[in-house]
Amino acid sequence: MPTRATEPAQRSRAASTGLVLTLVLVVAAFALPVLLDWETWSRASRSAHPWASPPLHGFWDPKLLGPGTAPAVLVAVVGLGWFPRFAATASWGRLLVASYAVALAWMLSLAFVDGTEGVARVLDHSSEYLPSAREVDDVPEMLRTYVDRIPYSHPDNWPTQAAGHPPLALLFFVGLVRVGLGGSFAAGMVVTLVGATTALSVLALLRTLDAEALARRAAPFLVLSPTAVFMAVSADAVFTAITAAGLALLARGAVAGGRAWIGWSAAAGLVLGCSVLLSYGMGLMGAVALAVLVAARSWRPLPVAVLAALVPVLAMAAAGFAWWEAYPVLTERYWDGIAGDRPAWYWMWGNLAALAVSAGPLVGAALAHAGARARLLRDDALGPGTRTVAVLVLGAVVAVAVADLSRMSKSEVERIWLPFMPWLTIAAALLPGAWRRWGLGLQVGWALVVQHLLYTSW
């Protein structure tokens, strides 16, 4: 059996192995389809974009500089040189404020590498929510006919995003249109402002579950994550933020004293129930929700949260949209469309490469390191909060595995899986100090390279 003297070295080797394997996976996912002429996209997609770059839903578009390049580099330099020390020593309130400000600056500066179009272009695409939202003038009728308009056979079928999600996602943009924020740039800014709250919810959850020290270690990786490339202006950033907020409320429900736990648990259920009405895939976040309760060592909030989660789902059903009726119809449309043209034998591992591009390669190293020390979780010498982080990471790993094996995610997971990624990223807090110091630089550099080399479609 390894001694304590050899365990740190072994865990470092695990991190090194994880990083190498992650990079090999990414290179293989990009290179092999080109070298071996694999048909990973539909032929229509390839003819429209001959430089398509699987495993990402985008194509090569190298640019040396853009309007946001200098601000992004400035945020990177300040973030690398100042934020880790600040996160370790600042008061909690100041840390949250700074985390939001830096996360927002990082997201916007990367988006502005492509100019204002980096914020505006995506949401105005014909397949996105905004064009559909502008046409909705009768919300009750929209809900009553929502499921009918999902199949391709319907003469007025929904575009891709509206068809592929429950109606609360579309209603979010209908609301923006109604209050005068229906322009693509304005809506993109709102989405980014909401998405930047994700790190705050994750940090609050960790602190609630007695993992403040690890939350402070994780903060730089959450705030300066490569996911910022895909979070900015992607509606999935809103789903990510709302789900993270629901999980943070659930953690409060698990630890609150007196009768306050009932209110926190009910609030968590309402928010998480709404998340399921934003994206069908958010049901998989149940694995992370269960991990929160395991980490808190309390199942008390579960029945209250479940009952509260049913409220928005049943209310939407009463208005005309039944989740359980819509999902089978969506599945049929999915397999009638692009899913049939995307081979599972590639995307089962290509998806993981896309996740690595979005979350950054250090996440692979952090997951390998966490796996290597899993048997030590009961050792108090590891410090408080280690078990909490490990359990949450495990919940996210389970969610990703189920999403991948279901074959309902073939391509585009660099944004579809955004809600899972913060809970994988916190594994970086478990890395040795030397790894964290240079690993943050790797993550930041990776984000800059991805943004400048690729047109990411989001």
Walk along the chain (458 residues) in steps of 10 and give the mean pLDDT of each run: 49 90 97 85 47 78 93 98 97 98 98 94 92 97 97 94 96 98 96 98 98 97 97 94 98 96 98 98 97 96 98 98 96 78 85 97 96 65 79 96 88 94 97 95 98 85
Do the domain assignments include residue 37?
yes
For residues 69-85, b (16+ Cβ closer than 10 Å) or e, as one string?
bebbeebbeebbeebbe
Do the domain assignments include residue 1?
no
What is residue 161's DSSP assignment? H
Q: Which helix or strand (DSSP H or E) is residue 425 part of? A: helix 421-425
Q: 394 and 373 in contact (C-beta within 8 Å)?
A: no
pLDDT at 12: 78
pLDDT at 345: 85
pLDDT at 10: 54
- Residue range 265-296, pLDDT digits in tens: 999 999 999 999 999 999 999 999 999 999 99
pLDDT at 340: 63
Q: Which residues pair with 60 in a beta bridge?
A: 454
pLDDT at 52: 58
Token pair 């009463």 in the structure block, residue: 318
**254-262 long-range contacts, Cβ below 8 Å, gap at least 24?**
254/208, 254/209, 254/292, 254/293, 254/296, 254/298, 254/300, 254/301, 255/208, 255/209, 255/296, 255/298, 261/300, 261/301, 262/304
Do the domain assignments include residue 241?
yes
Number of domains in the chain: 1
Q: 99 and 216 in contact (C-beta within 8 Å)?
A: no
Global pTM value: 0.94
pLDDT at 294: 95
pLDDT at 335: 81
Token pair 């995003």 in the structure block, residue: 161
Range of the domain at 78: 7-455
Do the domain assignments include residue 2?
no
Token pair 């580099």 in the structure block, residue: 73
| Cα–Cα distance for residue pair 397/401, rounded to 1 Å | 6
What is residue 227's DSSP assignment? T
Describe the crossing of helices 198-208 and 235-255 by its angle, rounded to 10 degrees.
20
Do the domain assignments include residue 145?
yes
Do the domain assignments include residue 293?
yes
The DSSP bridge pattern shows strands 454-455 and 59-60 to be antiparallel
Q: 233 and 183 in contact (C-beta within 8 Å)?
A: no
Bond into 62 cis (ω within 30): no
Do the domain assignments include residue 15?
yes
What counts of helices (H) and strands (E) characterise the chain? 24, 2
Do the domain assignments include residue 427?
yes
